[in-house]
Amino acid sequence: MLSKLKMRLRALFFKSKMEEELNEEVLFHLEREAQENRARGMSPDDARSSATRSFGGIERIKEESRDLRGFRFLEEAWQDFRYGLRMLRKAPGFTLTAVLTLALGIGATTTMFSVVYNILFSPFTYREPDRISDLMIQDSENPRAGERGALSVPEFTDYLERSTVFQEVFGSIHGGVIDTSNGGAEELGVSWVTPNAFNFLGVAPLLGRGIKPADGKPGAPPVAVLRYTFWINRFGGEAGVLGKTLVLDGVSYTIIGVMPPRFTWDGPHVWIPSQLDRSDPKAATTFRWFHFRLKPGVSEREAIAELNLIAQRVAESYPQYYPKKFKVIIRTTVDRVVRGFRSVLIH
| pLDDT tens track for 255-292 | 999 999 989 899 899 999 998 888 777 777 788 999 99
Give SS3 for 177. Answer: strand
Sorting pLDDT into bands at 50, 70 and 90, what band is 92?
confident
- Residue 267 phi, psi (nearest 5): 65, 35
Please give the residue that has the higher pLDDT: either 251 or 81.
Answer: 251
Instruction: Verify that 198 and 135 share a domain, yes or no.
Output: yes
Q: Is residue 162 part of a domain?
A: yes
Instruction: Verify that 175 and 48 share a domain, yes or no.
Output: no
Tell me which of 90, 115, 148 is where a domain ends: 90
> How confident is the model over 28-61, as pLDDT tens digits?
767 777 787 788 788 878 777 776 766 655 565 5
The percentage of residues in the chain with a pLDDT greater than 90, rounded to a whole number, is: 47
d(CA 42, CA 49): 10
96 near 37, Cβ under 8 Å?
no
Q: What is the mean pLDDT of the chain?
A: 82
Q: How far is CA 217 from the centre of its chain?
A: 35
Q: How many domains, in total, are found in the chain?
A: 2
Q: How far is CA 288 from the centre of its chain?
A: 28
What per-residue confidence (pLDDT) applies to 15?
59
Q: Work out the angle at residue 149's Cα, subtended by the Cα atoms of residues 143 and 154, and round it to the nearest 5 degrees.
A: 125
**Is the whole model's pTM more than 0.85, yes or no?**
no
Q: Which of 189, 224, 231 is nearest to 206 (CA)?
A: 231
What per-residue confidence (pLDDT) applies to 284?
76
Instruction: Verify that 141 and 47 share a domain, yes or no.
Output: no
What per-residue confidence (pLDDT) applies to 19?
67
Instruction: Verify that 253 and 325 share a domain, yes or no.
Output: yes
> How confident is the model over 132-189, as pLDDT tens digits?
999 999 998 887 777 899 999 999 999 999 999 999 999 999 999 999 998 889 999 9
Sorting pLDDT into bands at 50, 70 and 90, what band is 310?
very high
d(CA 201, CA 271): 13
Instruction: Verify that 45 and 174 share a domain, yes or no.
Output: no
Q: Is residue 265 part of a domain?
A: yes
Tell me which of 41, 70, 90 is where a domain ends: 90
Q: Is residue 106 part of a domain?
A: no
* 164 DSSP assignment: S
Instruction: Verify that 145 and 80 share a domain, yes or no.
Output: no
Q: Which of 264, 234, 263 is nearest to 248 (CA)?
A: 234
Instruction: Verify that 302 and 164 share a domain, yes or no.
Output: yes
Instruction: Verify that 62 and 164 share a domain, yes or no.
Output: no
Q: Is residue 109 part of a domain?
A: no
Instruction: Verify that 189 and 297 share a domain, yes or no.
Output: yes
Instruction: Verify that 51 and 149 share a domain, yes or no.
Output: no
Q: What element of type H or E holds 240?
A: none
Domain that holds residue 155: 130-335
Q: Is residue 249 part of a domain?
A: yes
**b/e map 70-109, b = 16+ CB within 10 Å:** bbeebeeeeeeeeeeeeeeeeeeeeeeeeeeeeeeeeeee
* 58 DSSP assignment: H
Q: Is residue 105 part of a domain?
A: no
